[in-house]
Amino acid sequence: MLRRFFEFLTQAPRAPIRQLVAYYAVVAAATTALAAYIPIVRSAIVGGARGAAPDSGLSQFLNPSAGPETGRTLAFDLTMVIVMIGAFLVALPVTWTYMATRFKRGFDQSLVQTLLVLPVLVASIIMIVQNSLVLAFALAAVVAAVRFRSTLKDAADAMYIFLAIGIGSAAGVQALTAAFIMSLLFSVLSVTLWSCDFGRCLVPPEPAAGGGKESRRGTLAVRVGDAEARAVVEDVLARRTRKFKFGGARPDGNSASLLNYRVQFKKSVQASDVIAALLKRRDAAILDASLDARQSASPA
């Protein structure tokens, strides 16, 4: 049962819209029920937990003899836990949206994990530094001392990062309702546009120089560092080409090999997309890839 639950959380949804609607409905119903009976949950959702009386919420229930300061501390700690859990629950369907819409092109597993952890981190930091100018400046100094070297290759990935920061910020100021609405609208809109293939160009591409048609066939040369990379290369070709045929391998340098494939591309796939997909596979020693469209023999 536990294994199936984790598989449900981590796998890309087969029916994204239905799964998203069901998930948001269940989370909204459960949160509404908890907020109706637990004041501190209601405060974390709509704000105002810092200004709550020290003897209200779960803090006084857990420690009835606690004084005012202890009550405020317990209330703040419990609110932070609720906010971090809420940020996680709100960010989870965003990762499903990313996996469903980006699975075949530009998928990055590390970004999926970032989308899940970043809102929780941002929410906890904002909970700590809010209403404290000294802590805010200290945090800015720490962040300024760190240099982030990772870059996003696609504008869509940057959009997801901004969404994760927005969800974490909303949760950190105890406005989980706003974070929920932000996540809901973004996920449903993204999946809808993806399923409708919105924005595709219906105008045929211009013919190449000389008036000929763009060739859908050619010889693909892939330079790899070890023999095990061939399985990865053929896995990518199987998903992104109409058909291909292995043309042999020859040594290329000290330890590298050059794999030759005669390929025929799908109409919806460009050769540059296949090459980019090969170079992104970090689980294999793929050093380089190039296409010679002049050799147009069919990979029968």
In a domain, 136, yes or no: yes
Domain membership flag for residue 232: yes
Dist. CA 49–CA 298, nearest whole Å: 68
| 180, two tokens | 């929920």
Assess whether 188 and 228 both reside in one domain: no
- 178, 101 contact by CB (below 8 A): no
Task: Give the pLDDT mean for 267-271.
Answer: 75
Identify the domain boundary among 132, 163, 195: 195
Least confident piece of the model among 230-244, 257-271, 280-294: 280-294
Q: Could you tell me the pLDDT band of residue 78, with boundaries at 50, 70 and 90?
A: confident
187-202 mean pLDDT? 76
Instruction: From 61, 23, 57, select the one nearest 42 (Cα to Cα).
Output: 57
Looking at residue 200, what is its pLDDT?
Answer: 62
Per the structure, the count of domains in the chain is 2
- 210 Ramachandran zone, left/alpha/beta (phi>0; psi -120 to 50): left
Look at 58 and 258; give whichever has higher pLDDT.
258
Predicted pLDDT of residue 213? 47
Please indicate, yes or no, whether residues 247 and 134 belong to a single structural domain of this protein.
no
pLDDT given at position 109 = 79
Residue 228 and residue 167 in one domain: no
pLDDT attached to residue 153 = 65
Q: Can you tell me the distance from the alpha carbon of 23 to that of 184, in angstroms, rounded to the nearest whole number?
A: 10
Mean pLDDT calculated for residue range 38-53 = 65
∠ CA 120-123-125, nearest 5°, is 110
Q: What is the pLDDT of residue 193?
A: 84
Sorting pLDDT into bands at 50, 70 and 90, what band is 50? Answer: very low
Same domain, yes or no: 237 and 143: no
Residue 300 has pLDDT above 60, yes or no: no
Same-domain status, 142 and 101: yes
On whether residue 15 sits in a domain, the answer given is yes
The CATH number for 231's domain is 3.30.70.1710
Same domain, 189 and 272: no
The reply to whether the predicted model has a pTM over 0.75 is no
pLDDT, mean of residues 142-163: 68
Q: What is the pLDDT of residue 90?
A: 92
Identify whether 155 is part of a domain: yes
Give the best-scoring range by mean pLDDT among 29-43, 85-99, 152-166, 272-286.
85-99
The values of phi and psi at residue 93, to 5°, are -65, -20
In a domain, residue 206? The reply is no
Q: What is the pLDDT of residues 207-253, one digit of tens each?
A: 444 444 455 778 888 888 787 788 888 888 887 788 888 888 888 76
Per-position b or e across 150-166, b if 16+ CB within 10 A of its CB? eeeeeeebeebeebbeb
- Is 137 part of any domain? yes
> Which burial class, exposed, middle or buried, applies to 43 when counting CB atoms under 10 A from its CB (0-12, 13-18, 19+)?
buried
User: Residue 183: pLDDT band by 50, 70, 90 thresholds?
Assistant: very high
Q: Which domain holds residue 145?
A: 2-195
